[in-house]
């Protein structure tokens, strides 16, 4: 490079620099380079060396970034950090110490105003909390509408779904929610439960398109509603009493009526049979029903559209 040539250093040393702008320009060029022969310049051209040092000092000053005086935000847990930063990557379910579905009421409602402003990938966790059922209907519906695609692809486990909201969402999402009722017989999702007229009105279009699956799902839903009443010792409508022979057969074969996954009987036939048995009021049958419902807890099905 030019400044490495000794004769040029000698030339600068011998010259009386009269134009300060020229000297400063030369110093500026040298100061910005990663390496220069500092010792040679310092010993042979003191004026140039001082100009270089001054330029370097100026560069350091301009490049200095003052430390932020604002305090670093501290979060109670990763879920809060994810919500505040609107970034789901901060909340890892495999390592989180505080889970969204185990929040206290106080912590849930503290985070809620910020949580409602997040994107669906974070907002979906509201649907999985126990507190979702306590929210005003308009807030519930807004969360559901924002997370429709996530619900449709079953990327969240809805714990509560207001019956009125079924009229506001796509028919396929209604079906997904219906199927979720079979995942845990002890957990009611659609609240309050649909009666026969409502369920037929809502799912009539899908019954026509999927006659081999949707009507079965409807029958199973009716069965699950009855199971929940039986577990709570509530009165069931249209109850019947059977003779001893039928009672004995039902008690001995009850497991078979719950085994939808491995049974060779068509699902619709099996669903109708289960529904009939759930209307039996004999104490021995009711007692056995409670044991079997608690044992199975869910109905394994193959009803996806």
Q: Are residues 188 and 97 in the same domain?
A: no
Whether residue 68 is contained in a domain is answered as no
Q: Are residues 83 and 116 in the same domain?
A: yes
Whether residue 79 is contained in a domain is answered as yes
Q: For residue 35, give its domain range.
A: 2-63
Q: Are residues 147 and 230 in the same domain?
A: no
Whether residue 291 is contained in a domain is answered as yes
Q: Are residues 209 and 261 in the same domain?
A: yes
* Non-local CB neighbours of 93 within 8 Å, separated by 6+ positions: 99
Q: Are residues 80 and 184 in the same domain?
A: no
Q: Are residues 89 and 36 in the same domain?
A: no
pTM: 0.73
Over residues 234-247, the pLDDT tens digits come to: 988 889 999 999 99
Q: Are residues 263 and 149 in the same domain?
A: no
Over residues 144-178, the pLDDT tens digits come to: 999 999 999 999 999 999 999 999 999 999 999 99
With 0-12 / 13-18 / 19 or more C-beta atoms within 10 angstroms meaning exposed / middle / buried, residue 162 is: middle
Q: Are residues 175 and 302 in the same domain?
A: yes
pLDDT band at 2 (very low <50, low <70, confident <90, very high): very low
Whether residue 49 is contained in a domain is answered as yes
Range 298-305 average pLDDT = 84
């Amino acid at each position: 490079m030019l400044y490495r040539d000794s004769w040029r250093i000698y030339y600068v040393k011998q010259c009386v620099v009269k134009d300060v702008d020229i000297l400063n320009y030369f110093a500026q060029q040298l100061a910005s380079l990663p390496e220069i022969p500092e010792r040679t310049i310092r010993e042979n051209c003191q004026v140039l060396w001082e100009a270089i040092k001054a330029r370097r000092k100026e560069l350091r000053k301009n490049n200095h970034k003052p430390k932020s005086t604002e305090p670093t935000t501290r979060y109670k847990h990763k879920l809060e950090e994810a919500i505040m930063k609107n970034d789901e990557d901060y909340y890892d379910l495999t390592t989180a110490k505080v889970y969204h579905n185990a929040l206290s009421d106080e912590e849930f409602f503290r985070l809620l105003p910020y949580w409602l402003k997040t994107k669906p990938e974070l907002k979906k966790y509201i649907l999985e909390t126990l507190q979702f059922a306590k929210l005003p209907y308009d807030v519930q519906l807004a969360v559901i509408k924002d997370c429709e695609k996530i619900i449709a692809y079953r990327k969240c486990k809805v714990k509560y779904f207001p019956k009125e909201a079924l009229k506001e969402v796509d028919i396929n999402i209604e079906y997904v929610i219906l199927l979720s009722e079979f995942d845990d017989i002890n957990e009611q999702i659609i609240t309050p439960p649909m009666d026969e007229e409502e369920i037929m009105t809502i799912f009539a279009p899908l019954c026509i398109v999927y006659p081999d699956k949707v009507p079965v799902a409807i029958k199973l839903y009716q069965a699950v509603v009855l199971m929940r009443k039986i577990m709570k010792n509530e009165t069931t409508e249209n109850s019947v009493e059977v003779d001893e022979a039928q009672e004995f057969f039902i008690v001995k074969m009850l497991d078979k009526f719950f085994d939808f996954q491995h049974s060779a009987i068509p699902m619709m036939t099996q669903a109708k049979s289960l529904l009939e048995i759930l209307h039996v009021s004999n104490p021995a049958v009711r007692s056995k029903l409670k044991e079997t419902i608690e044992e199975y807890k869910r109905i394994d099905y193959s009803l996806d559209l």
